[in-house]
């Protein structure tokens, strides 16, 4: 049996200037409890100007590693390009700032063997030294969000090549939301998207500050409205979009209230708008804190929910996303 015939799984990693994390990611793959000759790692670089490729090459003797370059491509294009060069019947999509557990591939196999499963993955684990923003918002998501899901993040998404080819791969016309969009087509094909904490990965890029969280949500929502319009009327989770729109209206109300207050026309509009902005975030946070039985998270979650809504709302102002 040749080496090509033994490759069962292809791990595909897109990268752009990841020198800070790529070594840790590849090191975690070296520690997999999985026969080295049965999986390959394909790093698709998007024109890094730092030491990403240099660091990756140091792992060539320890992994079946292929380094490809595809400049000026969206992340979907990088993943699709990696698939075009892959040899495995199983495709495992991993981000460069993620660390896998020793049993990652071993645990994924039985999930994908189920004929009704189109995608298996998990929401991310947070790093051990995470700060309050990460702990309150992302902590424990890999166990909370398991079973049949609407989507799993593309930084930890595994599927059979046959399914990938059947649905046409990642949509290269969008910059973000590519994982949600792909999972939507998988479900439309009559297959299930499964989340399982046994294949969760640790996301080193988990936002740790409110500003970092705002930037991450703003980025991930870049093509959210576009995907929403495309999937009407079958979209499964319109709530983040509506929440963003609601928060945007509240901000307009707050701004109008400030103007009216400055004109000495009273504080009524300002007070009502602030109350309208805070109340839904408080109620959402109350539900989460009650479910987790962590009441100390109530205030932090309220603040984070407001920031989330503002990030989603301001993203709606970027009309270029509708093109």
Tracing tokens 């049965």 back to the chain, one arrives at 38
Residues 98, 126: Cα–Cα separation, whole Å = 10
Contact 16, 45 (CB under 8 A): yes
pLDDT in tens, 24-62: 999 999 999 999 999 999 999 999 999 999 999 999 999
What's the pLDDT score for residue 1? 47
Residues 322, 227: Cα–Cα separation, whole Å = 9
> Exposed (0-12), middle (13-18) or buried (19+): which is 143, by Cβ within 10 Å?
middle
Which whole-number Å values give the CA distances from 184 to 12, 167, 198, 231, 297, in the listed order? 21, 10, 23, 8, 32
What is the mean predicted confidence (pLDDT) over 245-274?
Answer: 94
Residues 189, 227: Cα–Cα separation, whole Å = 17
Record: fold of 3-231: Spore Coat Polysaccharide Biosynthesis Protein SpsA; Chain A (3.90.550)
Which ranges of 172-267 does DSSP label H, i.e. alpha helix?
178-188, 210-220, 224-231, 239-262
- Which stretch of 120-124, 138-142, 164-168, 229-233 has the lowest confidence by average pLDDT? 229-233
What is the mean predicted confidence (pLDDT) over 277-283?
Answer: 97
Going edge to edge, which strands form the sheet with 39-45?
65-69, 39-45, 9-15, 90-94, 156-160, 117-121, 192-195, 147-148
Residues 195, 108: Cα–Cα separation, whole Å = 10
Helix axes 210-220, 298-315, angle to 10 degrees: 40
Q: What are φ and ψ of residue 269, in 5° steps?
A: -65, -40
Torsion, Cα 133 138 140 145, to 10 degrees, reads: 160
Cis peptide upstream of residue 149 (ω within 30 degrees of 0): no
- Domain positions in the chain are 3-231, 239-317
Assign 320 a pLDDT band (cuts: 50, 70, 90): very low
Residues 171, 59: Cα–Cα separation, whole Å = 30
Other beta carbons less than 10 A from residue 122's beta carbon: 28
pLDDT in tens, 192-204: 999 999 999 999 9
pLDDT in tens, 78-105: 999 999 999 999 999 999 999 999 999 9
Contact 80, 12 (CB under 8 A): no
Which ranges of the chain does DSSP label H, i.e. alpha helix?
3-6, 22-30, 52-57, 75-85, 104-113, 132-137, 141-144, 161-167, 178-188, 210-220, 224-231, 239-262, 268-292, 298-315
Residues 13, 93: Cα–Cα separation, whole Å = 6
What is the mean predicted confidence (pLDDT) over 65-82?
Answer: 96
pTM of the model: 0.90
Residues 309, 214: Cα–Cα separation, whole Å = 9
> Exposed (0-12), middle (13-18) or buried (19+): which is 240, by Cβ within 10 Å?
middle
Other beta carbons less than 10 A from residue 141's beta carbon: 19
* Mean pLDDT of the chain, nearest integer: 92
């Amino acid at each position: 049996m040749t080496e090509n015939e033994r490759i069962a799984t292809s791990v595909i990693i897109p990268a752009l200037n990841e020198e800070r994390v790529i070594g840790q990611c590849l090191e975690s793959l070296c520690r997999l409890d999985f026969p080295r000759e049965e999986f390959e790692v394909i790093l698709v670089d998007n024109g890094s100007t730092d030491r990403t490729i240099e660091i990756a090459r140091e792992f060539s003797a320890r992994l079946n590693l292929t380094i490809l370059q595809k400049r000026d491509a969206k992340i979907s294009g990088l993943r699709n390009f990696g698939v075009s060069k892959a040899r495995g019947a199983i495709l495992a999509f991993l981000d460069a700032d993620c660390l896998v557990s020793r049993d990652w591939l071993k645990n994924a196999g039985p999930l994908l063997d189920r004929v009704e499963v189109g995608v298996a993955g998990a929401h991310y684990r947070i790093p051990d030294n995470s700060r309050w923003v990460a702990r309150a918002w992302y902590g424990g998501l890999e166990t909370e969000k398991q079973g049949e899901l609407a989507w799993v993040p593309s930084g930890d998404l595994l599927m059979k090549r046959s399914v990938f080819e059947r649905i046409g791969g990642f949509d290269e016309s969008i910059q973000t939301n590519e994982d949600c969009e792909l999972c939507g087509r998988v479900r439309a094909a009559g297959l299930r998207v499964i989340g399982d904490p046994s294949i969760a990965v640790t996301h080193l890029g988990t936002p740790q500050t409110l500003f970092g969280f705002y930037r991450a949500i703003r980025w991930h929502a870049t093509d959210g409205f576009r995907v929403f319009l495309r999937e009407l009327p079958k979209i499964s989770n319109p709530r983040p979009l509506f929440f963003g729109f609601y928060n945007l209206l509240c901000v307009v109300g707050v701004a109008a209230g400030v103007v009216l207050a400055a004109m000495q026309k009273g504080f009524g509009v300002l007070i009502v708008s602030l109350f309208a902005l805070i109340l839904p975030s408080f109620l959402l946070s109350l539900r989460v804190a009650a479910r987790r039985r962590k009441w100390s998270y109530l205030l932090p979650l309220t603040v984070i929910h407001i920031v989330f809504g503002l990030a989603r709302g301001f993203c709606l102002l970027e009309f270029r996303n509708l093109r």
